[in-house]
Amino acid sequence: MGRDIDVVTVGHALVDIRIVVNEFPSVDLESKVLNQSWGAGGSAVNVAIGVSRLGMKSSIIARVGFDSFGRIIVDDLLREGVDISGLRIGFTQTGFTIVAINNKGEIMMYGYKGAAEELQPEDISEYAISRAKWMHIASLRLDTTMKAIEVARKHGLTISWDPGRVLASQGLEKLRDVVSAVDYVMLNEKEAKLMTGVEDYREAAKTIAGDTSASILLKRGSKGVYVLSKEYTGDIPAYSVENVIDTTGAGDAFASGFITGILRGYSLRKAVQYGNAVAALKIGKLGSHQVPSHDEVVEFIWDREQG
């Protein structure tokens, strides 16, 4: 069997319900919803859809419930051309996130992980992994993460890992085995601080890398991305965005762009710039996986470089 999939993502599949309001209501009051969107979300879904929109083939290993929210996720993935042979269905309810965004761009979130958190080590599909070139693991419990890594190593995949807040808060000691087994660690400043207890982001990146060969991509929001790797080390600035609508999922948009860039043969630095452009275009739209097409990204970068 050939490697007909570029990227397999492993992690959470949730339904995202997003609402835009002027201000958050206080207890017992109602706030009028000005805009709303809902559909499949969760890091594994966001990155799989992002990769697909950027012109590559993706598949997903995740768990959903046998319910209407599970159906929404399946429909969205199929509509976006994501291979779902690694998707598992169980009887726990599908997880969801309610995201409220006010007129200052501040966010309030309510999350129910449900079936997503029940992806067990034995649910990891070797078939799905063996068909791929790259595996991206996001916000996934430790035992299942280690199993996914073991299978990916066996089949020679490149591995990127985004610990997410919950795993990061368990501290670096517990996560050292993961760091030494992956090629890229992607995390934001808050997670890096949680993981290491180190305030300075450059020092935190150095602490995480330790004596492993992993490249660290530290996402700093509007300040861009700090890269620590053998190929390149330094800050790569973000693109400025005039009209920010929804920053949730920006990290996943960056991940899908970066991975796609490396698979297209870009240098590390150029792949990070490409990822930054994908994230910049995404945050101008409502929804966690509003990722642009490859042509839109190239045009966006070209316009900025000419400007």
For residue 202, tell me if it sits in a domain.
no
Q: Please tell me the predicted confidence (pLDDT) of residue 219.
A: 97
> Residue 44's domain is classified under what CATH number?
3.40.1190.20
CA 33 – CA 59 distance, rounded (Å): 34
Q: Looking at residues 162-187, what average pLDDT do you find? A: 96
Q: Please tell me the predicted confidence (pLDDT) of residue 247.
A: 80
Q: Does the pLDDT value for residue 97 go beyond 70?
A: yes
Q: Does the pLDDT value for residue 307 go beyond 70?
A: no
pLDDT band at 251 (very low <50, low <70, confident <90, very high): very high
CB 43 within 8 A of CB 160: no
For residue 155, tell me if it sits in a domain.
yes
For residue 120, tell me if it sits in a domain.
yes
Sheet holding 158-162, edge to edge: 83-90, 58-65, 5-11, 132-138, 158-162, 184-188, 215-219, 225-228, 233-236
* Residue in this structure with the two tokens 């079936």, named with its chain if needed: 115
Q: For 219-231, how does the pLDDT look when each residue is reduced to its tens digit (9 = 90+)?
A: 999 999 999 999 9
For residue 61, tell me if it sits in a domain.
yes
Q: Does the pLDDT value for residue 1 go beyond 60?
A: no
For residue 151, tell me if it sits in a domain.
yes
The total number of structural domains that make up the chain: 1
For residue 203, tell me if it sits in a domain.
no
For residue 173, tell me if it sits in a domain.
no
Q: Backbone phi, then psi, for 104, in 5-degree steps?
A: -95, 0
Q: For 292-305, how does the pLDDT look when each residue is reduced to its tens digit (9 = 90+)?
A: 999 999 999 999 98
Q: For 71-84, how does the pLDDT look when each residue is reduced to its tens digit (9 = 90+)?
A: 999 999 999 999 99
Instruction: Give me the chain's average pLDDT, please.
Output: 95
pTM: 0.95
Domain membership of residue 52 as a residue range: 5-25+32-162+238-302
State whether the Cα torsion 41-43-45-50 is positive or negative: positive
DSSP readout, the chain?
----EEEEEEE--EEEEEEEESS---TT----EEEEEEEEESHHHHHHHHHHHTT--EEEEEEEESSHHHHHHHHHHHHTT-EEEEEEEESSPEEEEEEEE-TTS-EEEEEEEEGGGG--GGG--HHHHHTEEEEEEES--HHHHHHHHHHHHHTT-EEEEE-HHHHHTT-HHHHHHHHHH-SEEEEEHHHHHHHH--SSHHHHHHHHHTTS--EEEEE-GGG-EEEESSS-EEEEPPPP-SS----TTHHHHHHHHHHHHHHTT--HHHHHHHHHHHHHHHTTSSSTT----HHHHHHHHHHHHH-
CB 1 within 8 A of CB 54: no
CA 196 – CA 173 distance, rounded (Å): 9
CB 180 within 8 A of CB 215: no
Q: Does the pLDDT value for residue 68 go beyond 90?
A: yes
What is the Cα 25 distance to its own chain's centre?
30
Q: Please tell me the predicted confidence (pLDDT) of residue 243.
A: 84
Q: Please tell me the predicted confidence (pLDDT) of residue 26.
A: 94
For residue 108, tell me if it sits in a domain.
yes
